[in-house]
Structure 1
Amino acid sequence: MKRTKAERQLLLKEKIEETPFITDEQLAKFFAVSIQTIRLDRMELSIPELRERIKYVATNQWNETLKALPLEEVIGDIIDLELDKRAISILDITSDLVFSRNKIARGHHLFAQANSLAVAVINDELALTAKSEIRFTRQVKAGERVIAKAAIEGKEKGLTIVNVNSYVGKEKVFTGNFYMYQSNEHKGEISNETSS
């Protein structure tokens, strides 16, 4: 049974409130209407596009909490953060993040998303990556959305270990362990530092 415009808009508003990071494409599929219809409904309801909704959540929930780097220096959009525990960010792979000839995402963007999330999860003014062990498990293409999940795994030789796994849908595309130096932990224990 086809819904009326008013019914659809009411349900659309509820759906976006429940899952604010849902895309227009996903909404169109859910409501069995065109993407243009969803965009018009959003405009009539004064609901911003996905990127603006993500920025709103990030700015209003995480700006006060982030310590190790400013929000604008995080690669991707943080959607969940519990300092010294876990964090999640979203990175939409746009045409400027891919190789022009094959539309595959440049690896340094996936690394930057994971690394900046590993820094962001640290509850300290200074957090630096001392070492990382990473693996790319599949190519990421233009138009895909990468969700990176960081979790603090523990400490080793004065460094905090942050595990980051990145996914497109349910498929893992990147995994890494980041060994993070932080200024308020075990000062002077890093023996391989060099000064210039």
Structure 2
Amino acid sequence: MIKIPLPDVRPWLANLRYCARHPYVRRGMIAAAGALAFMLLAYAGLWWGAARAHAALVEQIESRRRAVVDTMHAGEVARAFQRARRDIDAVERKLVAAVEQAVLVEKLGRLARSKNVRVVSESYEEGKALGAGYTPLIMDITLQGSYPGMREFLLGLPALPALIEVQDARIERARETAGVLKARLRLVAYRKPARGESSARP
């Protein structure tokens, strides 16, 4: 096994200690330490300024984001209020409109035909008069058709001239034809009867 002798560093350390005693070397070391300290302080100042600027930018972006979100929320609330106001106006117009029973029956039949739904049976009866002259018209209707047709029929009820509420709905498959549904609906129309209209009609 070959042993490699390690270099003796003691002479080098002795030379460094001797050089360190020289006044010029000391001054240079002090100047280097001062320069290093100055550089560290300058870097710390730059970092602190950049950090503060970054924090201010983040805060500005966050405040603008909150402002945009608040504006969007205010817009959504305003649009929802406008929709609710239009709906209320439409309901009020329907309530004050004097709709004849024959007209309402005709429009229900036309709505069913437009959605490819067949009216199997129907019966109408006026309920007890409510306040402000409103008389509910109770309508028991049996429909037959496809599921999309039934759905479109129910979605089309708000377009009728009277305020109609679905009080009960029973939907089942028709035994006669596959893929066809039979729906038994109880609808209540709130309206003011037209002048000369009888209180009850079969």
Please give the TM-score of this superposition, normalised by the length of structure 2. 0.26
Higher relative contact order (CA 8 A, sep 6+): 2
- The structure where strand makes up a greater share of residues is 1
- The structure where helix makes up a greater share of residues is 2
